Structure formats: structure tokens, C-alpha cells
Amino acid sequence: MDKNVKIYIAGHNGMVGSAVWRALSHLGYTNLIGKSSKELDLRNQAQVTDFYERERPVVVIDAAAKVGGILANSEHPYMFLMENLQIQNNLIDGAHQNEVKKFIFLGSSCIYPKLAPQPLKEDYLLTDSLEPTNEWYAIAKIAGVKACEAIRKQFKKDFVSLMPTNLYGPHDNFDLKSSHVLPAMLRKFHEAKLTNETVELWGSGTPMREFLHVDDMAQAVVYALENVLPEHLYNVGTGKDVTIKELAETIQNIVGHEGPIKWDASKPDGTPRKLMDVSRLKEQGWQAKIDLNTGIKMTYEWFLENQKSIKKNIL
């Protein structure tokens, strides 16, 4: 890939987009484009069309999305469905209409059925019902995957979808009302450490989850950028999972919180297990490198160094 190729990273200020930007910059890519939501409202088709016609990117990496955890999805289902559909439809169709050569669509492992066999294979898509707590977001992302597949099938274009497992790392969302489990736990344990309080966590602690550091995700995007992949859909993860209880104890140990943990079993657990089968991408030559313990340590260090700039006022 020519290091001067014009690459548009949608969502470049977010956790994933900023990690992709860092990775590409480090590799010497010099023609990266990023627009804030104030500069370009991706929900607005006219604005996105004008952007494509004006900037003419050769590559588009779609890391833009409306994201959140169980609580946010439950309270705002229409927003999670509609805004994600608007964002990705405008980006995908705009790329198609303006002859973008490569489009990388980023989604989530929640696209797979709630009770699909484990580990989750790409072939399990649309074989059963979704997890109700995040089905609105999942349906939008499934539509994006199928749109890229359709363009690839009908027009022979290099549109590929990467479905990461649960991501974490620098620039994550640490707001307790809208964040995912790992950053929420990290914040809770940090604040409880300062006050010597009990940490209360949702659910039973028994569900199993897989976690991928966002810098590993960025390297997977780079790999998809620099190689022509033969399939339209690839899982991105570590291929290893832990119970939520094990995750909590790992974070507690890294943060240094010494108080008790209280589990609220009246709160929903979500999907019992969600482990990705990552063999398809591994067979193409890519695999994750950052183990969970190291990744959480890196994330906590970033958290401590950036408390004043973290969104939603963490303290």
C-alpha cells in the first residue's frame, strides 16, 4: 500500500479510530483524513456526499458508531438502531458512489446469535435470535456487514468487515451510564480504592467474555488495509475468554483496591458466553499480541495520566 494514499478514518477521535490513526502514522502513512462530528455529521447524507466529492479518499476505515453498554442500549433502542444505520449507510454508499478502492467496516461480536455455539464462527451470522439487551445496535451492524458483502458480490469491490470482540484501551468511555464492562469496572475500582468502599457489580459474575486491546484491533485494521483478504467477514479477537468475576479480580488487583466486591444478581448478565473463533483471520496471517493482564495495566496507566481530559468527568 502506497504510504501517501489518501485514507479517511471515520470516527478518528474515538477509541478505535484514534488507535488506527496512531498505528498508521507510526507506519509512515502521511495522508490521513479525520473530521470531527462538528465538522461532518455522518448521520447527514448530504454532508457525507459533499465530503466524498470534495476529498476523494481512496481508502475508508469506518470506525464511527454510536456505542454503549447494556444500560445505554436498553434505554435508547431507537437511537442505537437508527443513528448507526444512518452513519454506516451514508459512508458505505458514499464510498461506492465515489469509487473508493478499499472500505473497512468495523462492527462487533454482538452481531452473532445469543445462544450460538462457542466459539463464534463467522458462519453463525443470522442463524438464530440476538441478545435482547443490545439487539438494536447488533441489527444495525449486521446491515452494514451485509451491505459490504453485497457490494463485494455485485461490484467486485474490496469491501471487508472486521468484527472485534469486546475492546478496551486508551480513549475508552469511562462513564458509568454508557460504558462497557471493563472500563466501568476500572473506574469503579479506582474510585472505591480512594474511599475504601465496597465495589458493587452487576450480575452473577459467571458469564464469560473475551477482551481485545484496541492497539491489537488497530493492527488488524492495518493488516486488512495492506492485504487483499479473500472473505468479506472476519472475527478479530484473542480466542481466549475469562469470567466476569475473574476480570473483576484482575482489575481489582491491578488498581490496588482492597475492599470487598458485592454482586447484584438482580441485574442482567447478558449473553452467557461470547468467545470468538479467530481462526479465519489467523489463517491469513494475523493474530493478537497483547495479553489481558498487560493490556489492563496499560489502560489503567493511561487512565491515571489522562483523568483531566477523560470524557464525562471520571471523578
pLDDT at 314 over 50: no
108 is in an annotated binding site: yes
- Do 82 and 137 contact (CB within 8 A), yes or no? no
Residue 194 lies inside a defined structural domain of this protein: no
**Contact call for residues 261 and 225 (beta carbons, < 8 A):** no
| pLDDT recorded at residue 180 | 82
- Binding residue per annotation — 109? yes
Ligand-binding annotation for 18, yes or no, is: no
Give the C-alpha separation, 130 to 148, whole Å.
21
Q: Is 203 annotated as a binding residue?
A: no
Q: Does the annotation list 28 as a binding residue?
A: no
pLDDT band at 315, cuts 50/70/90? very low
144 marked as part of a ligand binding site? no
pLDDT above 90 for 10: yes
pLDDT of 141 reads 97
Residue 22 lies in a domain: yes
Answer whether residue 189 is part of any domain.
Answer: no
- Structure confidence at residue 70 (pLDDT): 73
13 marked as binding residue: yes
CB 173 within 8 A of CB 183: yes
> Which residue has better confidence, 68 or 248?
248
In a domain? residue 152: yes
**Model pLDDT, residue 311:** 55
Is residue 80 within 8 A of residue 87, CB to CB? The reply is no
Tell me whether residue 250 is exposed, middle or buried, using C-beta atoms within 10 angstroms of its C-beta: 0 to 12, 13 to 18, 19 or more: middle
User: Is a pLDDT exceeding 80 seen at residue 129?
Assistant: yes
Is 203 part of a structural domain of the chain?
no
Domain containing 117 equals 7-172+210-240+274-291
How does the average pLDDT of the chain come out, rounded?
Answer: 94
Can you tell me the distance from the alpha carbon of 95 to that of 89, in angstroms, rounded to the nearest whole number?
A: 10
| pLDDT tens digits, 165-180 | 999 999 998 988 777 8
In a domain, 164, yes or no: yes
Instruction: Quick: pLDDT tens for 293-306.
Output: 999 999 999 999 99
| pTM (two decimals) | 0.92
Half-sphere exposure of residue 250: CA atoms within 13 angstroms, side-chain side: 19
Tell me what percent of the residues of the chain surpass a pLDDT of 70. 98
Please indicate whether residue 137 is annotated as part of the active site.
Answer: yes
73 in any annotated domain: yes
Number of domains into which the chain is organized: 1
Identify the active-site residue in 29, 137, 223, 234: 137
Q: What is the mean pLDDT of residues 265-279?
A: 88
Q: Is residue 36 part of a domain?
A: yes
141 among annotated binding-site residues: yes
Q: What is the CATH number of the domain that holds 95?
A: 3.40.50.720
Q: Is the pLDDT of residue 313 over 50?
A: no
Q: What is the pLDDT of residues 193-241, one digit of tens each?
A: 999 999 999 899 999 999 999 999 999 999 999 999 999 999 999 999 9
Report whether pLDDT(310) > 90.
no
66-101 residue pLDDT tens: 877 677 788 889 999 999 999 999 999 999 999 999
Q: Note the pLDDT of residue 95.
A: 98
Contact 301, 169 (CB under 8 A): no
